């Protein structure tokens, strides 16, 4: 039986080719992910401790507290300490040679001046030794054309850009300080002044040669006190590696979620393929039973065939996975994503790929193989070449109908129940309901979608529809494989479009000005708003600032803008907000018995209630416990509180162009801020959604490709099954063109039904999620990206047409007389 099985596999290799392709793609995705992430992990070990090559121990701040410069001096004076210096990492901004901010996230770092602690790789010049000196990363210097000794302007959250002398360039590529933008290194006091920080994040310490590091550690711990943590060099390296590896593992888990989807789809395709192939061997299997083969031998032979196929396809998948990982690394490097390194092909990755692909193929073949053993020997005496099409059992259909109904009900009721788990459960139950009820649902939809083909193509279209639905379980399995991938893609598309629409409406409601100035990775510099307000071309300049005092959120407000977020003015006049006059929200007014004219105390200063209002914006305090006061009053009470965003409108009679020029003139000294109009601000907020959607669609695209491979596979095997039937049709006058049309319509119907069900499922899940978010306090509504959804259906149809080409060529390749003689 083993020899016969291997011969059968060789003889029917072409039949199994597309099934093997599904395994190859699934395993390649798994292996490629593991190889790429293993490379990231190896790179994490290499990068750990790059800037601690000479650090024996470190003193770290706990919580939000920083380490004062005075503590650095005290640690430096500890017996046994050779060198100690403070270090901080923050964000900043750099003005290029053209006077404009250099694009990219800028990392600003305090570099030790102690020679014993310096671990930077200097490319040219030297590291800064005194105030007023700066080093930059080599690529930025090359791009901007800065010569050594030139003046470089650097900005931070502490104020306007300041001039420094460029004394050197460093190489930070591939390290934890390679964040895709400029690197700026200053001495500690300059870094503190520029960022507005009052202390360092850690203190680096080097022990004297020959002195016990453990003893020095205890002395430093005594000086640092209980508000700081002292870590040994080994602990510093271990934590750096742990954090980097944890990030890599989280990325791996994210990718493996999409890998799982692709593998499940591949399982559907493989199971359907074996079901068709073993059904086509009905007479051969019956002959084996007739001459003495047992049911166990037939079963084991089918499993052996699946194991050999799975092993070969898995080996090819691992090889393809190496190429896929290399492509991912190349893409990341082109996108300047830090942390990418070489590839790491380990024995465990290869073994995992081989075992996964083989096990997947064998498991998918179990049920078809078991069914194949039920063929009676007497079947060999009949002329039947294949098993007759069997309808699905009543228990399966009933269970599927119940699951489908429960899943739809869960999606519909998730918002009312306020439970996110119901959205996920509803989507899963609906999918399994489609799987189980598919033998009824899919053929019914195929007949509906086939109506235009019957009207346009006549008998040819009717024949194609009849061929599609003649085996309900087969067409249901083929279409269901598409439902998974397309369902997830459409769910993300609808969810992304609805989220973007909610963000845009939120911006329209909360931003009532022509221009927005925002900080790049940090709050706005302290002096910026005052400089903008001093420009005569600008009318409204409002920095969005807030803080929480005694459980009440205090917000800065501008009389010209305050009404844009209000949903209702309960009493009083909201535009009266100004010096000494505040707006109190209804819930706080009810809790404290406040009304218009009542006094209210904020930070030991008394104000008068100008109006009682409500709005729909979220707060950092209990709902409705909010007070809005004028910018001037807020600045007087909480002058150190900065905001991330400033709203700006032109002065009366000033054009938008003049106002923009005035703003840009001021911002020329502040490279850590960005100027946008409302449209650009919306695009910035929604850009992450677009990027995430593109990433998810690309990953899920493999599952869709595998499912379309299943369509081509089913069609190819059906052509083999209908060899004599097709020959009869050709003998009685069916032209070659009409034969191609029959197969093309079959493929399109299978793909179209799967795509429509997938789009429907994805849309339902997104609709349920948006309704839940709205119920929980958001402002989200279902928005259908009709163009994108139509594109999904169009791509499915075109791919199905392409998938029908090879089966049609095979159906027409044999002469009619030879095909009529086929047994």
pTM: 0.71
Q: Over range 811-816, report the average pLDDT.
A: 74
Q: What is the pLDDT of residue 6?
A: 55
Nearest to 548 by CA among 602, 503, 497: 602
Lowest mean pLDDT among 116-130, 170-184, 208-222, 600-614: 170-184
pLDDT top residue among 122 and 53: 122
Q: How confident is the model at residue 777 (pLDDT cuts 50, 70, 90)?
A: low
Q: Over range 88-96, report the average pLDDT.
A: 88
Please, what is the average pLDDT of the chain?
A: 82
Angle made by CA atoms 120, 121, 122, in degrees to the nearest 5: 105
Is 184 in contact with 154 (CB distance < 8 Å)? yes
Nearest to 582 by CA among 146, 603, 86, 451: 603
Burial of 712 (0-12, 13-18, 19+ CB in 10 A): buried
Q: What is the pLDDT of residue 132?
A: 93
- How many CB atoms neighbour CB 141 within 10 A? 23
Give me the helices (H) in 335-346, please: none
Q: How confident is the model at residue 549 (pLDDT cuts 50, 70, 90)?
A: confident
Q: Over range 537-555, report the average pLDDT.
A: 89
Lowest mean pLDDT among 152-156, 516-520, 668-672, 697-701: 697-701
Burial of 758 (0-12, 13-18, 19+ CB in 10 A): buried
Q: Which residue has the tokens 């001093």?
A: 534
Tell me how far apart the 2 most distant CA atoms of the chain are, in Å. 104
Q: What is the pLDDT of residue 385?
A: 42
Kindly report the length of the chain: 823
Percent with pLDDT over 70 in the chain:
87
Q: Over range 269-296, report the average pLDDT.
A: 69
Q: What is the pLDDT of residue 393?
A: 75
Burial of 655 (0-12, 13-18, 19+ CB in 10 A): exposed
List of residues 6+ apart from 86 with CB closer than 8 A: 67, 69, 72, 110, 188, 199, 200, 202, 203, 204
Query: Residue 290 above 80 pLDDT?
Result: no
Q: What is the pLDDT of residue 617?
A: 65
pLDDT digits (tens, 9 = 90+) for 445-456: 999 999 998 888
Q: How confident is the model at residue 84 (pLDDT cuts 50, 70, 90)?
A: very high
Nearest to 822 by CA among 679, 720, 683, 715: 720
Q: What is the 3-state secondary structure (H, E, C) of 202-257?
A: EEEEEECCCCCHHHHHHHHHHHHCCCEEEEEHHHHHHHHHHHHHHHHHHHHHHHHH
pLDDT digits (tens, 9 = 90+) for 209-247: 988 999 999 999 998 887 788 998 888 888 877 777 776
CA distances to 5, 64, 87 from 231, in Å? 64, 18, 15
List of residues 6+ apart from 224 with CB closer than 8 A: 59, 71, 75, 230
- How many CB atoms neighbour CB 821 within 10 A? 12
pLDDT top residue among 511 and 143: 143
pLDDT top residue among 288 and 569: 569
pLDDT digits (tens, 9 = 90+) for 348-407: 888 888 888 888 888 877 877 777 666 666 654 554 444 445 566 788 888 889 999 998
Lowest mean pLDDT among 142-151, 383-392, 483-492, 520-529: 383-392
pLDDT digits (tens, 9 = 90+) for 166-216: 999 999 887 778 877 899 999 999 999 888 888 998 999 999 998 899 999
Alpha carbon distance 43, 333 (integer Å): 14
Q: What is the pLDDT of residue 279?
A: 65
Please report the sign of the dihedral spanned by the C-alpha atoms of residue 357, residue 362, residue 367, residue 368.
Answer: positive
Query: Residue 11 above 60 pLDDT?
Result: no
Angle made by CA atoms 482, 485, 486, in degrees to the nearest 5: 75
Q: Over range 7-18, report the average pLDDT.
A: 58
Query: Residue 680 above 80 pLDDT?
Result: no
Lowest mean pLDDT among 285-289, 677-681, 805-809: 285-289
Q: Over range 580-598, report the average pLDDT.
A: 90
Alpha carbon distance 750, 803 (integer Å): 11
Is 151 in contact with 143 (CB distance < 8 Å)? no
Q: What is the pLDDT of residue 75?
A: 92
| Phi–psi pair at 548, nearest 5 degrees | -120, 125
């Amino acid at each position: 039986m083993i020899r016969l099985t291997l011969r059968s596999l060789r003889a029917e290799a072409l039949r199994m080719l597309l099934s093997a392709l599904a395994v190859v793609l699934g395993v390649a995705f798994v292996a490629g992910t593991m190889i790429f992430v293993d490379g990231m992990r190896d790179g994490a070990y290499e990068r750990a401790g790059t800037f601690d090559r000479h650090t024996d121990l470190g003193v770290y701040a706990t919580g939000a507290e920083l380490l004062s410069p005075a503590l650095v001096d005290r640690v430096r004076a500890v017996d046994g300490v050779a060198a100690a210096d403070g270090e901080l990492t923050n964000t900043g901004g750099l003005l290029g040679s053209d006077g404009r901010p250099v694009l990219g996230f800028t990392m600003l770092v305090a570099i030790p001046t102690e020679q014993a602690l310096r671990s930077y790789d200097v490319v040219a010049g030297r590291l800064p030794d005194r105030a007023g000196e700066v080093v930059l990363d080599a690529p930025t210097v090359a791009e901007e054309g800065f010569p050594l000794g030139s003046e470089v302007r650097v900005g931070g959250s502490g104020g306007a850009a300041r001039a420094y002398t460029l004394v050197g360039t460093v190489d930070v590529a591939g390290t934890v300080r390679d964040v895709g933008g400029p690197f700026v290194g200053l001495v500690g006091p300059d870094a503190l002044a520029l960022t507005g920080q009052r202390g360092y994040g850690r203190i680096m310490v080097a022990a004297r040669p020959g002195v016990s590091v453990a003893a020095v550690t205890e002395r430093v711990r005594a000086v640092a006190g209980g508000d700081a943590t002292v870590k040994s060099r080994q602990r510093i390296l271990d934590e750096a590696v742990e954090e980097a590896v944890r990030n890599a593992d989280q990325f791996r888990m994210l990718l493996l979620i999409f890998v799982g989807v692709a593998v499940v789809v591949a399982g559907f395709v493989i199971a359907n393929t074996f079901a068709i192939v073993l059904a086509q061997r009905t007479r051969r299997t019956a002959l084996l039973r007739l001459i003495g083969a047992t049911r166990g031998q037939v079963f084991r032979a089918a499993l052996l065939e699946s194991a050999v196929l799975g092993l070969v396809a898995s080996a090819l998948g691992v090889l393809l996975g190496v190429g896929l990982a290399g492509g991912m690394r190349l893409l990341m490097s082109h996108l300047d994503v830090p942390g990418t390194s070489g590839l790491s092909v380990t024995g465990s990755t290869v073994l995992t790929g081989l075992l996964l692909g083989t096990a997947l193929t064998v498991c998918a073949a179990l049920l078809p193989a078991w069914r194949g053993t039920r063929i009676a020997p007497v079947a060999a005496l009949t002329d039947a070449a294949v098993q007759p099409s069997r309808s699905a059992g009543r228990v399966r259909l009933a269970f599927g109908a119940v699951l489908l109904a429960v899943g739809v009900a869960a999606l519909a009721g998730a918002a009312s129940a306020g439970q996110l788990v119901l959205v996920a459960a509803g989507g899963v139950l609906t999918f399994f309901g489609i799987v189980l009820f598919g033998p009824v649902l899919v053929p019914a939809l195929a007949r509906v979608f086939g109506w235009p083909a019957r009207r346009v193509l006549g008998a040819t279209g009717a024949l194609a529809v009849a061929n599609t639905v003649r085996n309900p379980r087969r067409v249901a399995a083929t279409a269901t494989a598409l439902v998974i991938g397309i369902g997830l893609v459409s769910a993300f598309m609808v969810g992304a479009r609805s989220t973007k629409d909610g963000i845009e409406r939120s911006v329209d409601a909360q931003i009532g000005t022509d221009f927005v100035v925002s900080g790049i990775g940090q709050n706005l510099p302290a002096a910026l708003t005052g400089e903008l307000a001093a420009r005569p071309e600008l009318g409204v300049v409002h920095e969005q600032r807030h803080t929480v005092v005694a459980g009440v959120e205090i917000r800065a407000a501008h009389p010209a803008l305050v009404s844009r977020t209000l949903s209702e003015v309960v009493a009083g006049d909201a535009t009266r907000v100004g010096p000494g006059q505040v707006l109190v929200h209804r819930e706080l007014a009810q809790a404290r018995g406040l009304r218009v004219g009542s006094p209210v105390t904020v930070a030991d200063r008394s104000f008068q209630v100008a109006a009682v209002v409500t709005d729909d914006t979220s707060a950092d305090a209990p709902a409705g416990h909010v007070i809005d006061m004028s910018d001037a009053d807020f600045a007087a009470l909480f002058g150190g509180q900065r905001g991330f965003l400033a709203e700006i409108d032109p002065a009366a009679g000033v054009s938008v162009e003049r106002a923009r020029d005035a703003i840009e003139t001021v911002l020329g000294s502040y490279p850590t801020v960005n100027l946008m109009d409302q449209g650009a601000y919306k695009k910035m907020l929604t850009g992450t959604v677009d990027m995430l959607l593109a990433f998810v669609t690309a990953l899920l695209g493999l599952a869709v490709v595998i499912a379309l491979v299943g369509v081509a596979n089913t069609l190819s095997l059906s052509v083999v099954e209908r060899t004599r039937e097709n020959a009869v049709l050709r003998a009685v006058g069916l032209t070659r063109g009409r034969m191609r049309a029959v197969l093309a319509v079959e493929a399109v119907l299978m793909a179209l039904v799967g795509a429509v069900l997938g789009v429907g499922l994805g849309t339902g899940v997104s609709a349920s999620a948006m309704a839940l978010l709205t119920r929980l306090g958001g402002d989200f509504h279902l928005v259908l990206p009709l163009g994108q959804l139509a594109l999904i259906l169009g791509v499915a149809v075109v791919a199905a047409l392409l998938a029908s080409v090879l089966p049609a060529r095979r159906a027409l390749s044999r002469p009619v007389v030879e095909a009529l003689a086929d047994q």
